[in-house]
Amino acid sequence: MRLTVLGGCGAWPAAGAACSGYLVEHDGFRVLIDPGYATLPLLLATARAEEIDAVLVSHGHPDHCADLNPLLRARSLGGHSPPPLPVHAPPGALDAVLALDRRGMLEYVTHELTPRVPYELGPFTVEAWSLPHHVPNAGLRLEAGDKVLAYTGDTGPTPDLVELARDADILLAEATYPEVVPEEDAPYLSTAEQAGANAAKAGVGHLVLTHLWPGTPAEPALEAASRGFTGQITVAVPGVI
């Protein structure tokens, strides 16, 4: 399994950066997770639009799905005539972004993610978890071969995060703030310190902190996560992990 980070900014893309976007590949099958703001140009430096086999979206906030629209446009208008793109998301999560163009212009097939019901997607086994956020959010666990990738989407604290990440080779964890989430958002977002504690409890191999507030340095997040987790920790920046 190969993971390429396209972006990891929370809320909006910082200058020269992109919001959440992750390309996962195994046996030539490409799954795009969370095509957030500004991810498509970085994706197209790695693969052509028609080479994406499926899309998984954790939730409907635009920093996680806005670039689904230009991805679908590139597939439909690029002259290659690929099959309709399978797009998997929580119910209703993509209504707004899919409404940006008339239905007949874009070629896609939507699938609703059902929590705790594993299913096959190409060579991957995918399982979704319902995790707390301002809108319905699906944590995702992908298994292929002997590798496991766990992704939290955006989530507040919940014991389910440890089970989602159990023995994962990589935990891609939302860490908007290093140590403290503002009170009004505390049930719906997480810290790097919490991500580190969850990674340790779950026996994760590599913790990747993502969704940091735009313009904030990586060092405070890395330091906070390392208090509870002694394994490998990185911050999501564009490139292969």
Tens-place pLDDT, residues 130-163: 999 999 999 999 999 999 999 999 999 999 999 9
Is the pTM of the predicted complex or chain greater than 0.75?
Answer: yes
Tens-place pLDDT, residues 149-204: 999 999 999 999 999 999 999 999 999 999 999 999 999 999 999 999 999 999 99
Structure tokens at 233: 């920790």
Structure tokens at 113: 């993610």
Tens-place pLDDT, residues 93-114: 999 999 999 988 999 999 999 9
Tens-place pLDDT, residues 8-29: 999 999 999 999 999 999 999 9
pLDDT of residue 104: 85
d(CA 113, CA 92): 11
pLDDT of residue 33: 99
Strand-by-strand arrangement of the 239-240 sheet: 108-112, 85-89, 54-56, 29-33, 21-26, 2-7, 239-240
Tens-place pLDDT, residues 42-53: 999 999 999 999
Say which residues have a Cβ less than 8 Å from residue 65's Cβ, sequence separation at least 6: 34, 35, 36, 57, 59, 89, 93, 94, 97
Say which residues have a Cβ less than 8 Å from residue 108's Cβ, sequence separation at least 6: 72, 84, 85, 86, 87, 98
CA 143 to chain CA centroid, Å, is 15
d(CA 152, CA 38): 20
Least confident among 18-22, 67-71, 78-82, 83-87: 78-82
Q: Are 170 and 203 in contact, with CB atoms under 8 Å apart? A: no
Give the torsion through C-alpha atoms of 41, 220, 176, 118, to 10 deg. 80
Residue closest to 114 by CA, chosen among 127, 133, 131, 98: 127
pLDDT of residue 103: 81
Q: What's the average model confidence in pLDDT over 118-136?
A: 98
Q: Are 34 and 141 in contact, with CB atoms under 8 Å apart? A: no
